[in-house]
Amino acid sequence: MCIFCKIINHEIPCHQVYEDDKVLAFLDINPLNPGHTLVVPKKHYSDLEEISDEDLIDLILVVKKVGLLIKEKLGFAGYNVSQNNGEVAGQEVPHLHFHVIPRREGDGLSPWPRRGYKAGEAEEVIKKLES
């Protein structure tokens, strides 16, 4: 059983932000900013491809709700929503989850570096995606 399933089953304590019959939201134990919240489906799904469309809708609506709480109750100007899908993408717990990361101007957090396409590379990508 994964660590998030143990949290969902109340085997491990958490600082709960929100809960309903399908979704649990709780504070990340290693926050990027205070209020950094993880939003997880109560049913175990390893990644984004596994979750049903219905459960994904329920999950993302809670992500939105948590984002609004962060802005309205904690006074943050905005937030990032992040989902690492697979170990190579930085997913540390194999249970689908979204990060809702509070943001303030000058908080020192920056998105990953951007890279441009080499000549012809974008066209190659499009061809592969279309086939």
Catalytic positions: 97
3-state helix/strand/coil string of the chain: CCHHHHHHCCCCCCCEEEECCCEEEEECCCCCCCCCEEEEECCCCCCCCCCCHHHHHHHHHHHHHHHHHHHHHHCCCEEEEECCCCHHHCCCCCCCCEEEEEECCCCCCCCCCCCCCCCCHHHHHHHHHHC
